Structure 1
Amino acid sequence: MRARLIVFPIRGRNWCFSRSIDQSVLDSQYSQTPSTFKQLWIKISSSEKATDSNAELLIDFVANKMNRAWTGLEKAPPGSFKNKIHGLGLRLLAGVRPSEIFLKSISKEVTNVEITYPSSLNARLVRRRLRHIAFRGTVIHKKYFYGSVSMLPLTSAFAVLPLPNIPFFWVLFRTYSHWRALKGSEKLLQLVSDTSESKTPNENSEKADHNSLGVQWVLQPSEELEKQLHCGDDDDGLSKDTISDICKTYDLNTIDVLKYRNSV
């Protein structure tokens, strides 16, 4: 499966790294995840895959349940207890780094990436920055993953209270999130490494077949993205309107991209 990555400077030394949203792929992945314990058991018992694959299936099943519960909170009536929990969750999620969200989007199904970037940027610099964020992710998210796992037994003790165990579910979500970001970091680092096959603008004509077998990353400079950056560039970085236009053009999540602008 191919993933389209959009890379561009957003404010000073802050660069945005984001993946274009492909709703059909999301729907396909969602439909393949078991929705009940019975379906999960049947799929695991009938699978001839390694234990690691079954563990990932179990993790996806739990994540699916958490997403359904979150959707239920989102639809709760205003002012209700569930609605207040949803508001608390939004405030907590606002603190999640955008780089973590980006790395989580690089799933194991991704076999190659198309990297779109402003034409004025050096292609080697773009790939170097991608390798850096991937390598840094393997270090940071491994550390935070083990840290979150160690917090699970402590937060599970709050289950004795007559209230929803929000600390436990938050730590459980952070454990899953760091694990996904770690796997995404490893996958991205593998795809954009020096040993992987690639195509660059200098090696092939613009009409080259980018779907050729064996190509793991393609660098694609964009004149359109370059123009959008110049239209909205100022002393404080790209304006919100410009970021919104770029997100519409390349199917990006505006809220996640804005986090790059405000990050330190």
Structure 2
Amino acid sequence: MRARLLVFPIKGRNWCFIRSIDRSTSESQSSQSPTTFKQLWKNVSSSSPKATAANVELCVDFVANKMNKAWSGLEKAPPGSFKNKIHGVGLSLLSRVKPSEIFLKSIPKQLTGVEVVFPSSLNARLVRRRLRHIAMRGSIVHKNYFYGSVTLLPVTSAFAVLPLPNVPFFWILFRTYSHWRALKGSEKLLQLVSDSAKTHHENESEEKSSDSSDPPLVMEASEELERLVGDGDDVSKCRLKDICKVFDLETSDVLKYQQQKNY
């Protein structure tokens, strides 16, 4: 399984790191996840005792699917209803999630390689160094936030005695899941872009003479992305939308990079 990553400057030292949308992969992954407690228990009980990590991932995916279904129900609630108001609060909270976290969450453990697309004016070593930096920083930051969120779960569960939806608990539960995914994504990305990984542009002659599989890291300088980005000093919102259309990106995630402070 491979992924296409885009890296380009938006404003000054503020760079965008994002993965192209891969709908076929996401659909296949969601279809393989258990949908009921009975299916979850059957999958966990039938696996070998040594597959503890795999069982944890299965439970995490199960909880994530349940949260996504509950969120979809709130999204479809009639305007002005209580569920609709809760959905509005959720959107306000989600707007505070950093785009770098969204990017790291999009890196699954199944990845065997990445294709990094960047403007042709940038140096490939610099792009690779920035990717390593965001992966290393993410592995530290999201590990700390993950443990912090886990500690808050018992505290927020006490709000269940109130005759209202326990929004604080579900928000902390979501943040725990989000930081866990970002942590695992950071570790996987760091593995793929580390110095030990052979890149296509550094080992092109070796690849031609061997029958080995694709390299874990392929660096691709794009003239088209260079043209769309322009000078890179301050990419306009209109140009960012054009980049999203050409390279199949999530527009809302890209625009978040434009709104945040220099990373």
Q: Do the aligned residues in 1 keep the contact of 2:10 with 2:232 (CA within 8 Å)?
A: no
SS in structure 1 of the partner of residue 204 of structure 2: coil
- In structure 1, runs of 5+ residues without a counterpart are none
Match of 2:42 in 1: 42
Q: Do the aligned residues in 1 keep the contact of 2:12 with 2:232 (CA within 8 Å)?
A: no
Match of 2:113 in 1: 112
Q: Distance in 1 between matches of 2:112 and 2:75?
A: 34
1:243 aligns with 2:240: yes
1:197 Cα deviation (Å)? 2.1
Instruction: Quote the sequence identity (%).
Output: 68
Match of 1:59 in 2: 60
Residues 59-78 of structure 1 aligned to structure 2 (within 5 Å)? 59-78=60-79
Report runs of 4+ in structure 1 exceeding 2 Å deviation.
Answer: 202-205
Cα-to-partner distance string for 1:24-72 (whole Å, 9 max, x where unaligned) = 0000010011000011111111223611110110011000000000011
Q: Do the aligned residues in 2 keep the contact of 1:148 with 1:175 (CA within 8 Å)?
A: yes
RMSD (CA atoms): 1.8
- AA partner of residue 6 (structure 2): I
Q: 1:253 aligns with which of 235, 250, 253?
A: 250
Cα-to-partner distance string for 1:89-122 (whole Å, 9 max, x where unaligned) = 0000000000000000000111100000000000
1:213 aligns with 2:213: yes
Provide the aligned length of Structure 1 versus Structure 2: 258
1:262 aligns with 2:263: no
1:190 aligns with 2:187: no
**Structure 1 residues 93 and 30, CA, compared in 2 at 3 Å: closer, same or farther?**
same
Q: Distance in 1 between matches of 2:173 and 2:158?
A: 13
SS in structure 1 of the partner of residue 249 of structure 2: coil
Q: Distance in 1 between matches of 2:56 and 2:229?
A: 43
- In structure 2, runs of 5+ residues without a counterpart are none
Residues 151-190 of structure 1 aligned to structure 2 (within 5 Å)? 151-190=152-191
SS in structure 2 of the partner of residue 8 of structure 1: strand
SS in structure 1 of the partner of residue 220 of structure 2: strand
Match of 2:125 in 1: 124
1:234 Cα deviation (Å)? 7.5
Q: Distance in 2 between matches of 1:225 and 1:23?
A: 22
- AA partner of residue 260 (structure 2): S
1:198 Cα deviation (Å)? 1.9
**Structure 1 residues 44 and 98, CA, compared in 2 at 3 Å: closer, same or farther?**
same
SS in structure 2 of the partner of residue 63 of structure 1: helix
Normalised to the residue count of structure 1, the TM-score between the two structures is 0.94
SS in structure 1 of the partner of residue 16 of structure 2: strand
